[in-house]
Structure 1
Amino acid sequence: MDILIKLSQFLLSLSLLIILHELGHFIPAKLFKTRVEKFYLFFDVKFSLFKKKIGDTVYGIGWLPLGGYVKISGMVDESMDTEQLASEPQPWEFRSKPAWQRLIIMLGGVTVNFILAFLIYIGMAYAYGEKYIATKDVNAGIWVQNPILEEAGLKTGDKILKVDGKEIVKFNSLPEAILMGNDIEIERAGVVEHVKLPVNFLGQITENKGAGFIGLRIPFIVSGFGENSINENILQVKDIVKSINGVDTPYFDMVAGVLESNKGQTVPMVVSRDGKDLTVDVKVNADGKLETYYAAALPFDNLEKLGLYKLSKEEYSLVEAIPAGLHMGKDRVMSYFGQLKKIVQPETGAYKGVGGFKAIYDIFPQFWSWQVFWSITAMLSIMLGVMNLLPIPALDGGHVIFLLYEMISGRKPSDKFLEKAQMVGFFILIGLLLFANGNDIYKAIFSK
């Protein structure tokens, strides 16, 4: 059932983005009286799951969910249908239209992608507002969960002041800021220091098989027990560990060290249970473990209820949601361009984190949340828009480059040149597709 929910979100989001992107091409094409021969969700290699011709256009659903397309008459596109180009241009064909009209048609898809993303962010700001923990209120410092961060110089308990000279207001923005950053300004034991991240930091994080990155420091909260656990009849689910053998352990990251020094012993532990503190005698096995599961993260609301962190809340009227949503969208666009910049720099190793369809599928949770769904869909819409703007001939960006050249120089590239450019772009796209999905396969095999 969990997999079905995850898959449903993936397909719904992908379908929505594809249909709206292709509508961005379809609508201006129709407005400029350009014939659209096909409008397809997914690719119809050899056969279609559904198709129906209405007017001049065949609307259909293919069986291969790797994208979608509109086939516009008189345009050299990924279909490589060059037969129509052998005859004289017809008034309804793409190639017969003025360059400015063709430019609008080609930019329609990415325009819709960006508009959709900004509309989603505006809607989310209005419907959900924002709940966050301010970075300045994280007085206990961060919990460093990844050994690569420790090797780079960050330690649990460090207070993050700035990343690349910029104060990060919201704690949930910190992980991405650090991933994309170079210089981390911290406060450690009252002293301000700087941690310089290595150039290949992103590559190291990608290759590291350890889970986690950074998080809020939270208590050790029992969430379950291992099979035949030595403490199953002593501790209870939701017990909050406060001290072990007289040593205060207010945070999870402090527990392991205390247990390590009490291997194979039975020691007193103070836990909070149902709002009251009580002492129980727990057993520590020979490996320094309690044989319990623990909560690795808690919702912000729970953290506030426990008195650990102050939760900042912002609510927006419809009018206020517009600038708030636009600001969110702008930040995501700039962030994605920053990621692309890292990816094309081999020395960063960021290319190792590039993923394909499985990576996108994995983003979606195994539970249904409209807030999470729309947030992911907005992010994917921006990614789709930016990727389609890349100056690769088979993408919208490649067509735009040739059209801008035509408009500036007054000389239109020949159909033969466009055919060859399209073929080159097609092979580049196939290479990128194989690389991204090959990364998924590699990680699936070697990250076990």
Structure 2
Amino acid sequence: MTPIVIKTIQFFLSLSLLIVLHELGHFIPAKLFKTRVEKFYLFFDVKFSLFKKKIGETVYGIGWLPLGGYVKISGMIDESMDKEQMQQEPKPWEFRSKPAWQRLIIMLGGVTVNFILAVVIFIGLVFTYGEEYIANDSLKDGIWVTEKSLGDELGVQTGDKILSVDGNKIEALQQVLPEMIYGEKYTIERDGQVIEKTIPVDFIETLSEDREKARFISYRYPFVINDVPKNSPNADSGLQKGDAVVEMAGTPVEYKDQVIPVLEANKGKEVSIKVMRNGSPLDLTVSISDKATLGVVLGMSPEEYKEAGYLEIKTLKYSFLESIPAGWNKGVKVLTDYIRGMKKIFNPDTGAYKEVGGFAAIGGMFPDTWNWPAFWQTTAFISIILAFMNILPIPALDGGHVMFLLYEMVTGRKPSDKFLEYAQMIGFFILIALLLFANGNDLYKWLFK
């Protein structure tokens, strides 16, 4: 199967699971409080259904429009806009006849299930696979900024040690870029001095201009030969696998970032180099191509990097009991980071709104090949997004219903059905506008980027 087919299958599998469980979050408390549920649908059944079957008082079905799902609860102003039912006298089994606290639990059920599901997935992942990361404080000579223009925009350079973002210590190298995206200030160590810097307000927009270069912060690679192909111009130079280049054209070097400018300065020339082989220095002569390359393959395994003292890879294993708080903390962290990201989106100066995506963006989050850990990781993340988006106080979303219920519980006055109908319509148009904007962004990126 092609990558796009694999991504599509994962997207619909994940979305279907999340929608069904979200709606179960409403369905179960509704049934517990003896509230009639007329429909339980995966996807929307505009005009017709792909499948439907009535069991008891509820019709279960699958719609053809994959924009979500719903449960139709009797006596509730929702997506169905069933005005005829609302004009009749309230029945004991209807939503509107139940106490406010019961209605509140019914409405909070979906987002609660979404967040709990994400935490359960994270618990399963850390228990099954543990966690592995490069310890940020183990990088003895700091980071490598692979794209100088982005580094200059942010104010970091190769060799810097990034200590914290917004006062929070960076434990894992993999955390650096996400924290920079969400953060406002960061602290680095440069040439023995600790410096605090401000993250440019439009840094997200700068990153979005060239997504292929977005991951511009890495650990520094030592210039160690992994292979010298037979067709290489340096096949007969004496270079061997395992040679570590420590001097080139009279310039001391250790890392790839130090070698690159020397190669650029000596394109098309023969230069002398010094390598360390089995702990002993060796002088050689190599040819540099017109493209500033040696025609060799570089690289060491993570274990070799670790053994050489360049970095430390930490592996955390959890017992089942230990995985519970670890999974919870991960869920809270993902939710917190997403809220931080939303704050950026609502600030036009950041340009983050340009990164808002629709179905294509969500589908693109899944890997090109079938990978269960990556699938579940992405599903957990989307589940938290759904929880957060649904609790926003927008009429037509769960959060809109919760907002009106809280108003009723505080004031003792219930909003009129007519007011709720108008609010539902306004909320519906807001959601349509957001949907068009997000998917329009996807289309724009596909056409022009």
Q: TM over 0.5: same fold?
A: yes
Instruction: List alignment gaps of at least 5 residues for structure 2.
Output: none
**Aligned counterpart, 2:254:** 250
CA contact 1:148–1:208 (8 Å) conserved in 2: no
* Change in 2 beyond 3 A, CA 1:125/1:272: farther
**Aligned counterpart, 2:319:** 317
Q: CA offsets per residue over residues 256-307 of structure 1, 9 Å max, x none?
A: 2122111122446678999999988655333434577877xx9855643665
1:218 aligns with 2:221: yes
**Aligned counterpart, 1:423:** 425
Q: Which amino acid aligns with 1:433?
A: L
CA distance in structure 2 between the partners assigned to 1:223 and 1:426 by the alignment: 58
* Change in 2 beyond 3 A, CA 1:416/1:7: same
CA distance in structure 1 between the partners assigned to 2:425 and 2:361 by the alignment: 27
**Aligned counterpart, 1:262:** 266
**Aligned counterpart, 2:105:** 104
**Aligned counterpart, 1:385:** 387
* CA-based RMSD: 3.1
How many residues are aligned here? 444
Deviation at 1:19, TM superposition (A): 1.0
CA distance in structure 2 between the partners assigned to 1:273 and 1:61 by the alignment: 66
Q: CA offsets per residue over residues 206-236 of structure 1, 9 Å max, x none?
A: 234551231222246789999x986596799
CA contact 1:230–1:283 (8 Å) conserved in 2: no
Please show how residues 336-347 of structure 1 align to structure 2 within 5 Å. Answer: 336-347=338-349
Deviation at 1:445, TM superposition (A): 2.0
Q: CA offsets per residue over residues 314-348 of structure 1, 9 Å max, x none?
A: 21111111222222122112111111112112222
**Aligned counterpart, 2:127:** 126
CA distance in structure 2 between the partners assigned to 1:293 and 1:424 by the alignment: 60
Please show how residues 136-215 of structure 1 align to structure 2 within 5 Å. Answer: 136-146=137-147, 147-209=149-211, 211=213, 212-215=215-218
* Change in 2 beyond 3 A, CA 1:23/1:264: same
Deviation at 1:410, TM superposition (A): 1.3
CA distance in structure 2 between the partners assigned to 1:202 and 1:319 by the alignment: 38
Deviation at 1:102, TM superposition (A): 1.0
Deviates more, 1:379-388 or 1:199-208: 199-208
SS state at 1:363 partner: coil
CA distance in structure 1 between the partners assigned to 2:388 and 2:369 by the alignment: 28
**Aligned counterpart, 1:359:** 361
**Aligned counterpart, 1:49:** 50
CA contact 1:238–1:273 (8 Å) conserved in 2: no
User: What is the TM-score normalised by the length of structure 1?
Assistant: 0.89
**Aligned counterpart, 1:413:** 415
CA contact 1:241–1:249 (8 Å) conserved in 2: no
SS state at 1:140 partner: coil
Q: Which amino acid aligns with 2:208?
A: T
Deviation at 1:370, TM superposition (A): 2.0
SS state at 1:391 partner: coil
Q: CA offsets per residue over residues 127-146 of structure 1, 9 Å max, x none?
A: 12221222111122112234
Instruction: List alignment gaps of at least 5 residues for structure 1.
Output: none
**Aligned counterpart, 1:375:** 377
